[in-house]
Homo-oligomer: A and B are copies of this chain.
Amino acid sequence: MNIGLAVLGAGRIGRVHARAISQVGGARLVAVADAFEEAARALGAEHGAQVRDIDTILAAADVDAVVICTPTDTHAELIERAARAGKAIFCEKPIDLDATRARACLQVVEETGARLMVGFNRRFDPHFRALKEAIGAGRIGEVEMITITSRDPGPPPAEYIHSSGGIFKDMTIHDFDMARFLLGEEVTSVMARASVLVDPAIGECGDFDSASAILTTASGRQCLISNSRRAVYGYDQRIEVHGSAGMVQAMNQREADIEVATAEGFTRPPLLDFFMTRYTAAYAAEIAGFIAALSAGAEMSPGGEDGLRALLIAEAAQRSVKEGRAVTVDV
């Protein structure tokens, strides 16, 4: 295979994906685009890729697929344009902060027959993958209850909050996707609670920094989610799945597995405290998976439907907090 890719958006996450592409045999980073040309030029130089504008990229014969890393509010439109241009698409989550807009976008994807993968990177984390495989191998029997703990090292700045869509669409959405990935059944109902315990500035934006949710499925499976915008001990990312025949847990990660014992106790280092470091392997495996599916003509997973459904759960969670009741997930 020899697949040409273009990265749209040369920011932090664009750079991560560009590097990942350069490490996949048979794939080539052909072009880079960014509104801020300096960024595009630097990234292009690093990987021997051209700087082009988006129109040129979408028209180019040497570009098989685009990797969309631009700001969220451009995702849906770029997906549509790329779909119409016949390109395969990898898009960072979310498709759009608005479910109606996301649905319209997926309609275009369907009509054009475009192939779309959505960037829920955690599905590709080796630890969570091993957990998923343990479930698939029947080691814990039927899945019954899941607990997802997901806490950021520290709160983002208030400006970020403004355009984030709120904690459920920005942060918990990864956990909603993980719940769907692991529950073995669709989530039908959400109960959620949220509050401001970390940073009053987040509350002033109308958002929350601490949230809990219970997701349930038709057969009564339950998923508990615990979110905080602060974890001083690092990026806390754990999953525990309890089944009829056992339980499987995926543990946190640190840079070095050492333990120092002194008169004060036995101390291991804090956790990796940056999502890009914590999920380095996941990002690499994600792009490799996208390219492999592209090359093999296999199904893209997670796809557009996965992106939409996580968003719908987020919207249900928002309503649940507001109305103080269980909210049915709109499908």
- Contact A144 to B244, CB < 8 A, known contacts A258-B131, A260-B134: no
CB neighbours of A326 from chain B (8 A): 191, 193, 324-325
CB-based contact A134/B248 at 8 Å: no
Residues 240 to 256 of chain A near chain B (Cβ within 8 Å) = 240, 242, 244-253, 255-256
Tell me the count of chain A residues lying within 8 A, CB to CB, of chain B. Answer: 72
Which residues from chain B contact A228 at a C-beta distance below 8 Å? 144-145, 242
A264-B265 Cα distance, complex, nearest whole Å: 12
How far apart are A6's CB and chain B's nearest CB, in angstroms? 23
Contacts of A226 in B (CB 8 A): 145, 147, 222, 224, 242
Cβ A260 vs Cβ B325 within 8 A: no
A230 part of interface (Cβ distance < 8 Å): yes
Task: Assess whether A130 is in contact with B256, with CB atoms less than 8 Å apart.
Answer: yes
Does the CB pair A232–B129 fall under 8 Å?
A: no
Interface stretch, picked from A100-108, A158-166, A267-275, is: A267-275
- Verify B246–A263 contact, CB threshold 8 A: yes
Q: Is A257 an interface residue (CB 8 A)?
A: yes
Stretch in A30-38, A52-60, A85-93, A210-218 touching the partner: A210-218
Kindly list 6 other residue pairs between chains A and B, CB separation below 8 angstroms, not including A195-B221, A251-B257. A191-B326, A198-B244, A233-B246, A248-B261, A250-B257, A267-B267
